[in-house]
A and B are shown apart, each in its own frame.
Chain A
Amino acid sequence: MLIIPCPYCGARPENEFRYAGEAHIARPADPEALSDAAWADFLYMRTNPKGRHAERWRHVHGCGRFFNCVRDTVTDRIERTYPAGTAP
C-alpha cells in the first residue's frame, strides 16, 4: 500500500485517498470555441505514460482536498505532491 504525502496533512496510507486521473488537464476556458476534435481530445485522450506521471489524488478520508502528485508508474515511487493549480 502506497504512502502518499498529502500536501495538507502529511504522509498517509493509500486507502485514505481516491485516484482522480491525470493532472494538468485544464478545462478549456471557452468550451464552445473548441472544435469537436479538440473537445474530444480534452475529454478522452490521456498520456498513459510508462514512467513519470503527473496525476491527481483526493484525500477523501482526510482533508478532502484534491492535489497533484508525480508518480513513476513503473516503480510506484512518488516523486512529489503539490497543491492543485500549481505547476509540477
Chain B
Amino acid sequence: MKWFGRRETHQSARTAEGGRIDRSRTVRFTFDGAQFTGHPGDSLASALLAHGVHLMGRSFKYHRPRGVLAAGSEESNALVHVDRGGGRETPNLRATQVEIYEGLNARSQNRHPSLAFDLGSAAGLMSRFLPAGFYYKTFMWPASFWRRVYEPAIRAAAGLGVAPMDADPDRYLRRYAHCETLVIGAGPAGVAAALDAAAVGGRVILCDEQAELGGSLLSEPHAVIDGLAGAEWLAGALSDLARHPNVTLLPRCTAFGWYPDNMVGLAERVTDHLATPGVHQPRERLWQVRAGAVVIAAGAHERPLVFPDNDRPGIMLAGAARAYLNRYGVRPGQRAVIVTACDSAYACALDLHRAGVMIAAIADIRADVTGPAVEAVRAAGLLVRTGVSITGSTGHLRVTGALFGTEWVACDTILMSGGWTPSLHMHSQSRGKIRFDGANFLPEAMAGQQSVGSCAGVFDLTGSLPGRVVSGVIAPRGGFAGLVPGAKAKRAFVDFQNDVTAKDLLLATREGFRSIEHVKRYTTTGMATDQGKTSNLNALAIVADQLGTAIPHVGLTTFRPPYTPVTFGTIAGTSRGALFDPERRAPMHDWAVSRGAVFEDVGTWKRAHCFPAPGEVMHETLARECRAVRTEAGIFDASTLGKIEVVGPDAAEFLNRLYTNAWLTLGVGRCRYGLMLSEAGFVMDDGVVGRIAEDRFHVTTTTGGAPRVLNHMEDYLQTEFPELRVWLTSTTEQWATIAVQGPRARDILAPHVTGIDLAHAAFPHMSVREGRICGVPTRLFRVSFTGELGFEINVPADYGPAVWRALMASGHLTPYGTETMHVLRAEKGFVIVGQETDGTVTPDDLGLCRMIARSKRDFVGKRSLRRPDMLVANRKQLVGLLTDDPSTVLEEGAQIVEDPGQPVPMRMIGHVTSSYPSATLGHSIALALVEAGRSRMGTVLHVPMPERMIAVRVVEPVFYDKAGARLDG
C-alpha cells in the first residue's frame, strides 16, 4: 500500500481508455505548490484522483483529513482556493467543479502548515470540548477569557477559506432574458423537456451548472435510448437543440435563486475555465430570466451512509466513484469495499470490477435484496453480503480498511450509497409545497412550474424520458437514512462540511431541541456552502428516530438562495466604483474643479465643500470665505436644492394643506419660508417658496429631501386631495441656482440685471422677480441663508456656468462652499433639516412656532401637534451652546449631561447637532437639542468626552446680528 498519503507524479489511477476527457492533450496545473497533469475535460478533483490523491481538504472544526466525497456541486470536503493572479482569487470552490486549465494554481484550505501534517488536527483530540452548540455554551467562564483567548483561538482554527484582500479586477455583466420555458438542469430529463418545449415553439433556455450538458448520462455508459447508445442519443439531442433558433443552451450556468413570478437568477461562469480569457469577456454573467414556465430537472443527490469514521480520505459516494471511472477514466482505488442500501451501488461495483478494481467486499444493509441488479453482480462472481452494516473504518490520510463489527477488511477506498435525495432546492425556493412519500420528500405540482426526473422522485431513466425506449440501466431502488444499524454515533459524520456527527444531533435532541429548524441552528447541520445537500435527510432521520416520531413531524428546513455559492461580483455586476451609485454634478461643477474645490457627497450630489487658496489649511480657507461674505460678497452654487414647480388653479390651497404656513395670502412676487411636517407632526422638510403667478409656485426643498418631498406631495394630491387642480413637476435639474450673498451683493448684480428694479423698496427681502441676467431669463429671489443681503439667481441650467463666470469677472466675489454656508447659517441659528432634526423634532422644538398658522383649520401634521407627548415640558429644544474656552469646538453628536459628577451610565439630556469655529465671532459656536432647553438659558451643562468633561453655557440659538439688520445690506 505504498501509494497511501503521497503524491504520484504520474496519473497512476487513470484507466487506459474511456471517459469523456481529451487524452490527446495534456494540461499542467499545481495543487498546494506541487505539479500535476490532467486532460481537458478533467475537474480538479478527477485530475488529482488520477494521481491517486484523495486528500484534498481539512474539516471545519476538527481539521480531520478529508478526501473528495462527491463528483458534483454537492461536494462538502474538497474546497479549494484558486488564485489566478493579480487579485483574482476565489476561496471555497468545490474541486469537483473547478475545470483544469494550463497553469491552474489551486491550494487547499483550513490547514496549517500543510494538508498532510496539520497542527490544528489536535482539535480532533479536543472534540469533546467542541460539541453541538459549543458556540453557545462552552468556555463561558471566566467571561474575559472568551473574548481574549477562546474566541480568537477558535476563529483562527475553525473555518473555511480566506477572503482575498485585494480589489477584484475582473468584470461582471448582467443580462435580462425572457422565455416561454426555462429548463433547469441538462440531465436526460432536462434535455428531453427542452426538446419537447422547443417542438411546441416558443423560446427555451436550458441551463446546467456543469461544463458539459448531459447530467447523469455523462457517467452512464450502458444506457440505450431509442436504439442509440446513451452518449449518441445525447449528442444528437444537444445538436438538435443547438441548431434550434429559439433555444439557448447555457452550460456552466447555475440556477441559484428563484424569485416571485418565475424570475430565476442564473450565474454563468464565462471565463474561469480558460487559461487566457478573451479581453472583452466578463468573468461571470448574471442572467435574470423571466420564464412563462419553469421545468426543474435538478436531479438528486446521493446520501452518504452514517457510520463511525465515515469521513476518511478514500471514502466516497458510490455514484461519484462511478462518475470518476466512467466520465473521467479514473479508478478511485485499487481495492474497494462497497457499502450500500441502494441498487445503484451495484452498477458501481460492476463497472469497477470490469475496470480491474478489486472488489474486496459488498455489504448491503437490507436483509432481503433481490432483482436484476444484485443478480448481475452475483453473476459477475462477486459476493454480496446482505443485512450487514459497516461499523467503522481505519486509516489516517487514506482509508486502510472497513470494519464490520469485529471483522476488518483491507481496502483503499470505501464506496457508499444510502440512496438518492431529490433536489428540492429550486421547488422549495419557489414556495412550492412538499410531501413525504415514506422515503423521500417530493415536490407537489404547482402552476407555472414542473419538476421532472429524479428531483421529482423518478429515479429510473425510463421514467425520466417519457415516450422513449430505454434499456441497459440499473434502476436505483432502495435507500436508507439515518445512523446505520448497530453503529455508534461518535465520529459518525452527518454533515461533513460543518463537522456535525450523529452524536451531536442526539445531544441536541437530549437537550430539548425538537424542530429541525432549531436543531439546524444549534448544531449547524445543513449550513455552509453545501447547504446540506448530502446531509439533510440523514439528519432528519436521526432526529426523528431519537424522538420516536416520523420524519415529516420533525419537518424540513427551508431552502433559500443561493443553490450554490455565488460571487459578490456576479450580484454586483457593473454596479461598483463610479457606477455603484450615479454621481450627480451641479452645473458649475467643472468650474469648481478648475478652481481646486474640495468636494463632499451630499446625497448623490457632489458639492464643493470649500475653495482652498494655494498654501491655505482648512480653517484658514473657511475663515477667509466667511469673512468675504460678511464684509463683501460671496458666490455659492445652490443648484442642488430640490425644486418643484407647483401649478394650477388650486396651487395655493394645496400648499396651504401641505405646509404649516399660510399661503393663500402670499402675494405674487413674494416668498415665504415653508415648513413641511409629516402627518405625525414632525419636521420633514423646509425651503423657500416663491409665488411666481396666482397659479404658479416655485418650491425649493432640501438637497437630499427633493424626491421624498415630491413623493409626499404626489401622495396627498393623488389620494387625499384629488379634487384639487394642481400639477407637480420636478425642476431641480432645470435650474442652475447661484447664491450671491454679502453687503455688496446688490452692487455686484446690478450691472448684469435687466427688467428688475433691485432697489430695496422695489425688491424687498423675501421677494421674487422675473427678468434677465446677463441676457438670460431668470427667476431672481431675494433671500438669505447667511443673514446678509442676499440673492439667489435661477437661470436655465445650461446658462449657469456663463452667468457664474460673468459675475465672477466683477472681481469682488469670493466663491464659498458648503462648509462656509453651514457656518454662516449656524451663526444665524438657521436649522438644517436632517442635521438639527432627526424625524422626532417638532416645529416648537426648533423654536419655529411662528411658522405655524394657527388660524388654519387643518394642514398635514397639525392634529399631531396636540398629541400629549408633543406638549410635555421636557421635550428637547433647540439652544445654542458656548464653551468657556473659545477655541474648544464641541464634537457634533456629543451627548450632554446635567451633573458631571453622576456615576456612569450618565443620564443624557440632549446632544450637539452642529458645531463650528466662528471666525466672525472669534469663538466656537454650537447648536444643540436639550431637554427643556429654553428654560435653561444661562445655565451650565456638561459634555462628557473620553478625555475630559467640557462645561458649556446654554444661550439663545442666534449668535450673530440678532436684530437682522444686515439683511438689507
Please give the residue numbers on chain A whose beta carbons come within 8 Å of chain B beta carbons, in ascending order. 1-3, 13-14, 18, 20, 26-27, 30-32, 34, 36, 39-40, 43, 56, 58, 60, 64-66, 75-76, 84-85
Select the stretch in B145-153, B259-267, B314-322 that faces chain A: B259-267
Q: Which of B639-647, B855-863, B874-882 contacts A (4 or more CB under 8 A)?
A: B855-863
Distance A18 CA – B707 CA, assembled complex (angstroms)? 12
Mostly, the B contact residues are: mixed
Q: Are B718 and A66 in contact (CB under 8 A)?
A: yes
10 nearest interchain CB pairs? A31-B863, A3-B261, A1-B263, A76-B260, A84-B719, A2-B260, A66-B718, A27-B720, A1-B259, A66-B719
Structural contact, B711 and A58, CB atoms closer than 8 A: yes
Residue contact B867 to A39, C-beta cutoff 8 Å: yes
Hey, which chain B residues are within 8 Å of A43, CB to CB? 679-680, 864
Question: What are the residues of chain A within 8 A of B261 when measuring CB–CB?
Answer: 1-3
The chain A residue sitting closest to B858, CB to CB, is A31
Contacts of B260 in A (CB 8 A): 1-3, 14, 76
Q: Is B868 close to A, CB under 8 A? A: yes
Partner of A32, one of B288, B715, B722, B858: B858
CA distance A56 to B680 in the complex (A): 19
**Minimum CB–CB distance for B800 against chain A, Å:** 27
Across the interface, do A39 and B864 meet the contact criterion of CB distance under 8 Å?
A: yes
Q: Which residue of A lies closest to B863 (CB)?
A: A31
Given contacts A3-B290, A26-B720, A31-B863, 8 further A-B contacts (CB under 8 A): A2-B261, A3-B260, A18-B711, A20-B715, A30-B858, A32-B857, A66-B715, A76-B431
Q: Collect the chain B residues with CB atoms within 8 Å of residue A1's CB.
A: 259-261, 263, 288
Residue B836 at the A interface, CB < 8 A? no
14 contacts between A and B (CB under 8 A): A1-B259, A3-B290, A14-B260, A18-B711, A31-B858, A32-B863, A36-B866, A36-B868, A39-B867, A43-B680, A58-B715, A76-B431, A84-B719, A84-B722
Whether B714 and A58, one on each chain, are in contact in the complex, defined by CB atoms closer than 8 angstroms, is yes
In the assembly, what is the distance between CA of A30 and CA of B858, in Å? Answer: 8
Give B255-275 interface residues, CB cut-off 8 Å to A: 259-261, 263
Q: In chain A, what residue has the closest Cβ to B860?
A: A27
Interface size on B, residues (CB 8 A): 24
Tell me the nearest residue of chain A to B868, going by C-beta.
A36
Per-position 1/0 for B358-377, Cβ under 8 A of A: 00000000000000000000
Taken together as a complex, chains A and B put the C-alpha atoms of A32 and B863 apart, in Å, by 6
Minimum CB distance partner of B176 in chain A: A13
Instruction: Identify B714's interface contact among A2, A13, A27, A66, CB under 8 A.
Output: A66
- Chain B, range 713-753, C-beta contacts under 8 Å to A: 714-715, 718-720, 722
Using Cβ atoms and an 8 Å threshold, which residues of chain B touch A58?
711, 714-715
Residues of A with C-beta under 8 A to B868: 36
Q: Inside 8 A of B290's CB, which chain A residues have their CB?
A: 3, 13
Of all chain B residues, the one with the shortest Cβ separation from A74 is B431
A residues near B680, Cβ cutoff 8 Å: 43
Residue of A nearest to B262 (CB): A3
For window 290-320 of B, CB contacts with A under 8 Å fall at: 290
Interfacial chain A residues near B864, Cβ < 8 Å: 39, 43
Shortest Cβ distance from B445 into chain A, in angstroms? 15
Q: Which residues from B are CB-within-8-Å of A31?
A: 858, 862-863
A36→B720 contact, CB < 8 A? no
A84 to B663, CA, bound (A): 28
Q: Min CB distance, A20 to chain B, in Å? A: 7
| Docked pose: A37 CA to B539 CA in angstroms | 52
Q: Which residues of B sit under 8 angstroms from A66, Cβ to Cβ?
A: 714-715, 718-719
Q: B292 → chain A, closest Cβ, in Å?
A: 12
Closest to B716 in A: A27
Considering the chains assembled together, what is the distance between the CA atoms of A20 and B431 in angstroms?
25
Contacts of B720 in A (CB 8 A): 26-27
List the B side residues contacting A39 at CB < 8 Å: 863-864, 867
Residues of A within 8 A of B863 (CB): 31-32, 34, 39
Which B residue sits closest to A75, measured CB to CB?
Answer: B431
- Docked pose: A69 CA to B38 CA in angstroms: 59
Indicate with 1 or 0, residue by residue over B698-720, a CB within 8 angstroms of chain A CB atoms: 00000000000001001100111
A64 → B minimal CB distance (Å): 7
Interface residues of B in 145-204 (CB under 8 A from A): none
Q: Which residues from chain A contact B431 at a C-beta distance below 8 Å?
A: 75-76
Residues of B within 8 A of A13 (CB): 263, 290
Closest chain B residue to A64 by CB distance?
B714
Whether the pair A65, B867 counts as a contact (CB closer than 8 A) is no
A85 and B722 contact, CB distance less than 8 A: yes
Cα distance A76–B429 in the bound complex, in angstroms: 13
Q: How far is it, in angstroms, between the C-alpha of A39 and the C-alpha of B866 when the chains are bound? A: 10
Bound CA–CA A74/B290 (angstroms): 21
Name the CB-closest residue of B to A44. B680
What's the minimum C-beta distance from A79 to chain B, rounded to whole angstroms?
14
- With CB as the reference atom, state the residue of chain A lying closest to B265: A1
Q: How far is the CA of A58 from the CA of B862 in the complex (A)?
A: 25
Please measure, in the bound complex, the distance between the C-alpha atom of A64 and the C-alpha atom of B866, giving whole angstroms: 33
B676 to chain A, nearest CB (A): 16
How far does the alpha carbon of A34 sit from the alpha carbon of B863 in the complex, in Å?
9
Interface centre among A3, A26, A31, A85 (most CB of B within 10 A): A31
What residues of chain A lie closer than 8 Å to B711, measured between beta carbons? 18, 58, 60
Q: Which residue of A lies closest to B707 (CB)?
A: A60
Q: How far is the CB of A68 from chain B (nearest CB, A)?
A: 9
**B747 smallest CB distance to A (angstroms):** 45
Cα(A40)–Cα(B864), bound, Å = 8
Report Cα–Cα, A36/B679, bound state, in Å: 14
Quick one: given A36-B868, A43-B679, A64-B714, are A85 and B719 in contact (CB under 8 Å)? yes
- Residues of B contacting A64 with CB < 8 Å? 714
Select the residue from B714, B715, B719 with max chain A CB neighbours within 10 A. Answer: B719
Chain B 840-858 interface mask (CB, 8 Å, partner A; 1/0) = 0000000000000000011
